[in-house]
Amino acid sequence: MSAPILILTEVALGPSERKAVEGLLENGVARLEILVPAGRKRRLVVDFLDHLSMLEFGKAVGGLTDKGPGPESARALAQTALATSLAALEGLGTDVSGSIIEGDPVQALADRASATAAEQAVVVTLPHAIEDTFHTDWANQAQRRLGIPVLHLYAGTGFIGDS
């Protein structure tokens, strides 16, 4: 069996991600492994600017006072995203597994890539204008750190990011 394709996602995968991943599989022999972080480190100014750039004024202002989910809620959200993602990729003719990760998501992806000898990774994120513009998003970080091809997909859109 060939090396797995690792998928790091901050949201539940859906039909557009399934279609993109399906295109990566070679004769159904690749194994897929989904990594979902439990929570995300908040960067107040960056999050505020991201929302403003997407014309999400309510979210921008609300984010200034919202403390985000607690650890248990963050883990429950990650578990739901993982279960939904596993279901979305079911039936592709390949083994699909997944896990919830703690700490730095890109480091966890790098560790898993090293441990499994992965030759390809997919990073699925929502658009983050500031990180994407300055190439500090997860996909660009992963590309620099892993040394393997990294496909950056914007969740729910089918659009490929620039990593």
What is the CB-side half-sphere exposure of residue 136 using CA atoms within 13 A? 7
Mean pLDDT check: name the lowest of 45-59, 105-119, 130-144.
Answer: 45-59
Q: So what's the pLDDT on residue 75? A: 87
Residue 52, pLDDT above cutoff 70: no
**141: Cβ–Cβ under 8 A, 6 or more apart, which residues?**
106
Burial class (CB in 10 A: 0-12, 13-18, 19+), 5: buried
The reply to whether 131 falls in a domain is: yes
The reply to whether 82 falls in a domain is: yes
Selected residue with higher pLDDT from 126 and 63:
126
What is the CB-side half-sphere exposure of residue 130 using CA atoms within 13 A? 11
DSSP strands (E only) in the chain: 5-9, 32-37, 96-101, 120-125, 150-154
The reply to whether 57 falls in a domain is: no
The reply to whether 51 falls in a domain is: no
Burial class (CB in 10 A: 0-12, 13-18, 19+), 28: exposed
Domain limits for position 107 = 5-42+71-154
The reply to whether 64 falls in a domain is: no
How many domains are there within the chain? 1
The reply to whether 80 falls in a domain is: yes
The reply to whether 109 falls in a domain is: yes
Q: So what's the pLDDT on residue 25? A: 85
Question: pLDDT tens digits, residue range 82-134?
Answer: 999 999 999 888 899 999 999 899 999 999 999 999 989 999 988 776 676 66
| CATH number of the domain encompassing residue 26 | 3.40.50.620
The reply to whether 160 falls in a domain is: no
Which is nearest to 35 in space by CA: 83, 87, 95, 98? 98
